[in-house]
Amino acid sequence: MQQTDVKKQAAGGVSPEGSAPTAEELRLINLYTRRELTAGEVYVFSVTLCDNDVDRDGERFTVEALFELEKLFVGKTGIFDHNPSAKNQTARIISCRVEAESGRETATGDDYFCLKARAYLPRTEGNAELIAALDSGIVKEVSVGCAVGHIRCSICGEELHRCAHHKGEEYGGELCCGELCDPYDAYEWSFVAVPAQKRAGVTKSHDRKEDNMEGIMKKLGRGQSVTLSDRDCEKLLGYIDTLKQSAKDGVFYRDSLTAEVLRLSAAVKTGISAETMENVAKSMSVAQLQEFKTAFEKQRAEMLPLQPQLCGEKQSPKSALNGQYNI
């Protein structure tokens, strides 16, 4: 399976509707906490993670993909501005739901659906600033990262990079876009600070740059000659920088996936030594690592039929077995 990591800025963002949790939400929150928290100790908010409308990259999630992501994002933590060191400033998703917005249509004329999540932050001193920012709407954008199995052409259904159609162009009155299908992992979501219009501007030109560069690459791929102006060269260098950053993100993702596979391998008692597993993992592709992770998780779930995965980070000193699923 082809695997592609995608990072998307959500269209809707954060809406702090009802900052006190319902009884059910509090129950879900307490599945993740070390000690029982009261309603007054948590800040709960809604956030739109993604939708099925065509984004600035000319791509969109299919409605089926949104329903897959609905399962994948539960329990995932959100960090502030892609900075994993801001460890205390993390929010966690406790529930997700695909919602239709009646009367609204996507750019392709389909009914509009979005993936909404409820997330919480403990009301600690360290989080006070972030909570105030969320409340006042200064921080309201989020971006999400996930891995999808396929990006298909909306016109012909082929893998987008293999067919002759181009994102953003119309064919017989139909807009071509990349359809993000079969997501199999959701690995992060982040708050994006947006007071800076500068930032929005940078993102925009950055996207156009990528489109142009993709066009140039496609031409080169077809064996056509390309004349580059000084500005194009400059853009090409910028594009290479972007790719370098994506590669870095990929390495980070691969490393965390490998660590997870190693932990799971030990937890399900495969009998394979950590050293051997580590060596094998090194030669695996990300898709293969993902396959191992899924298989191990399944095995672990079968070993512990009464413990749903929701257990996540809950620690209970009462259970001697706890260490086994506290992975």
Question: Least distance from C-beta 119 to Zn ion, angstroms?
Answer: 37
E strands in the chain:
4-9, 13-15, 42-51, 59-61, 77-80, 91-105, 111-122, 141-153, 170-171, 174-175, 178-192
Q: Which CB, 177 or 261, lies closer to Zn ion?
A: 177
Look up residue 161 and give its DSSP letter. G
> Per CB under 5 A, which region of 76-84, 102-110, 147-155, 236-244 contacts Zn ion?
147-155
Of 10, 28, 151, 153, the one binding Zn ion by CB under 5 A = 153
Closest residue by Cα to residue 21 from 3, 36, 5, 4:
36
By CB under 5 A, is residue 93 in contact with Zn ion?
Answer: no
Q: Which CB, 155 or 213, lies closer to Zn ion?
A: 155
Q: How many residues bind Zn ion (CB under 5 A)?
A: 5
Q: Which CB, 164 or 243, lies closer to Zn ion?
A: 164
By CB under 5 A, is residue 7 in contact with Zn ion?
Answer: no
- CA–CA separation, 188 and 83 (whole Å): 11
Instruction: Give how far Cα 5 sits from Cα of 44, 150, 212, 238, Å.
Output: 28, 10, 21, 20
Of 31, 163, 181, 284, the one binding Zn ion by CB under 5 A = 163
Question: Least distance from C-beta 143 to Zn ion, angstroms?
Answer: 27
Tokens, residue 230: 């000084």
Chain Cα centroid distance, residue 83: 15
Q: Which CB, 157 or 323, lies closer to Zn ion?
A: 157
- CA–CA separation, 131 and 126 (whole Å): 10
Of 156, 175, 194, 217, the one binding Zn ion by CB under 5 A = 156
Question: Least distance from C-beta 171 to Zn ion, angstroms?
Answer: 8
- CA–CA separation, 83 and 8 (whole Å): 16
Classify 117 as helix, strand or coil.
strand
Question: Least distance from C-beta 153 to Zn ion, angstroms?
Answer: 3
Tokens, residue 211: 């489109």
Q: Which CB, 166 or 314, lies closer to Zn ion?
A: 166
> Per CB under 5 A, which region of 64-72, 146-154, 188-196, 252-260 contacts Zn ion?
146-154
Instruction: Give how far Cα 136 sits from Cα of 115, 129, 140, 166, 231, Å.
Output: 23, 11, 9, 40, 40
Q: How many CB atoms lie within 10 A of CB 307?
A: 16
Of 7, 161, 165, 254, the one binding Zn ion by CB under 5 A = 165
By CB under 5 A, is residue 155 in contact with Zn ion?
Answer: yes
Chain Cα centroid distance, residue 260: 17
> Per CB under 5 A, which region of 87-95, 153-161, 200-208, 319-327 contacts Zn ion?
153-161
Question: Least distance from C-beta 218 to Zn ion, angstroms?
Answer: 13
Question: Least distance from C-beta 168 to Zn ion, angstroms?
Answer: 13
Q: Which residues of the chain form contacts with Zn ion (CB under 5 A)? A: 153, 155-156, 163, 165
